[in-house]
Structure 1
Amino acid sequence: MQHLRSILKSGLGVLLAVVVASGAALTSILMRLTKRGGVQNFQSIFWNQVAHMIFVLRLTIAVRPKLRRESWKETAVLVVGGILRVAAVVCLCLSYLHVNVQGNTSSVVYGLVPVLTIGLAALITKERPTVVHVVAMVICICGVTMVGVSMNAKETNNQTVQQQLLTLLYPISASILLTLCWVLLRWLSKRGVPLVTHMFYYSIGGILLLPLAYIVEKPEWSFSPDTWGLLVAQTLACAMQYLSNAAAIHNETAATVQIVKVLTVPLVFVLGFFVLEMVPNVLKICGGIIVTVGATVVGLWTWRSNLKQQRRELEVGTGTENSGPGTVQVLKIRSGPEPGPDSV
């Protein structure tokens, strides 16, 4: 049992990233279904944010973290990160709703975000990518490009110039804003800011979306029971995705999490096939397989590296970060009942 717990702890960040990918794919499918039932754009986004806020407020009340940081810089980054996340969520959800081709939003977002994350993480959090990260990222980009080429070859001829611009603008804007959000979150995590504090600031801005929904469009509140059920499922999936993403970046490097999250692309195809009866073509299937290979490689490599590091820490006795009286005590026990100068 202890060995199994050690293995799961080593892969916690990777497992959470897989949960994020599953939640993102499920959310995108459910948002399309609720839109068919009459749920409008910003109204759908608002309900997603309400679910986030309910979960986070309950956690905040239970944990009671210190919301105001001693450093003004950390507090400012938390506020800015919350604002950026609201803008990113709006762009991402509008992409799901207005980009009419299955998997296109996921392809653009999860193709660009790993590249942007590796660059920004190296500058802001000083986490430089390994060769495995770079190779996996290139593999994922190849798969995403195949999906994008498949989309352009089939659909863009039926779109106006404005629709084609929106098809690119929403996902690209979401990619840039999401990358900034999660790299800043990783920066705060490395400075010791509690996870619940991150989530509080990143969720509270969602309340701004309700007046925005009334300004931009007049929302409807009378839906069929089936639509309400789908809406509840959508908000739960979105909340699961958000909480898992914050926890994943708190436990693992931003680059690793973003590369593993590219699994959203093939998962959207799979769910779209079973739920929406949308059959991807051969090029999309091949692209999804390539993406899966790239994300799996970096996920397994990271898991194995974390497990090796954890075992090395156990062999030392107290770990690489703890050096005090406990370390001397462990070394004395290992050297026998009568330790000499060498054992100290």
Structure 2
Amino acid sequence: MKILVTGTAGFIGSHVAMRLLARGDEVIGLDNLNDYYDVTLKQARLERFRHDPRYVHVHADLADRDAIADVFARHRPQRVVHLAAQAGVRYAAENPHVYVSSNVTGFLHVIEGCRTHAVEHLVFASTSSVYGANRAMPFSEHQSAEHPLTLYAATKKANEQMAHSYAHLYGTPSTGLRFFTVYGPWGRPDMALFLFTRAILQGEPIKVFNHGRHRRSFTYIDDIVEGVIRCLDRPPTIDSTWDGKAPDPSSSGVAPFRLFNIGNERPVELLAYIRRLEQCLGREAIMDMLPLQPGDVPDTEADVSELRHAVGYAPQVGVEEGVERFVRWYRDYHGV
């Protein structure tokens, strides 16, 4: 297939592009290489596959309506994996306009391209952050997600609703994936594992929020990619089981639309995560214990039973192995 992957210089996007190329697909990669974090890292990710003859790279901004329209008109992708967005939950408090421009306006431009060119399936990134103030564990797609606690989460919730409306009005099959905490080689420098590793190796303290007591569904990147591609290969249809009385947030009786959690069902306490990192690095962390950050949630736990039932999703890599793989990559990439 010919597949458009947005955010191919990003953490998840680069891994997805490589997997698609490895199985023989053509990939149109789109990224604006913004400077939210180290552009050198983004370029290094791209170098792993940008010379593949089945890969075409487009340097463009999601907010540029004409540029995105041109990508669809010129390359006519059959399916789309939309992973590009302004990342970082906390950065949104300082730069709200950037988030709306990229995550809402940019999403509109992508889904308009899908509508105009009859794309077979749009798979897009949402987030577990949409569960916000929800305290029922584990988080399930069947629960309400109407009270996000951050602007970032609100933009992703808007994406879900926009995708459903397009699926209903125009028949554009769409699948939203609510990512839980993703980690692994080539990860983002602003995420905990990267920050902790750098600080520990430099003998600097690490900030441990909520005194390390919160739990997260840490999910290794290879498991995420496997789930994304399995979903891409199975466009949704209208859910005929809907009775019209109590709409299920995870599906729709009037549109080819689905929402799935994608994560690891075995949450790990942050302190245990740090302890495993210390073992792999052979050094102890200096921990600055701090209270929970505003807008953060104490715990996340993914119920992935729907994704398992739909596509056979089954995460294979636990934290013990995943953190070790990240440390090996970090040492090699940075020469430390």
Judge same fold: TM > 0.5, yes or no: no
Larger relative helix fraction = 1
Larger relative strand fraction = 2
TM-score by length of 2: 0.28
* Structure with greater contact order relative to length (CA < 8 Å, sep ≥ 6): 1
TM-score by length of 1: 0.28
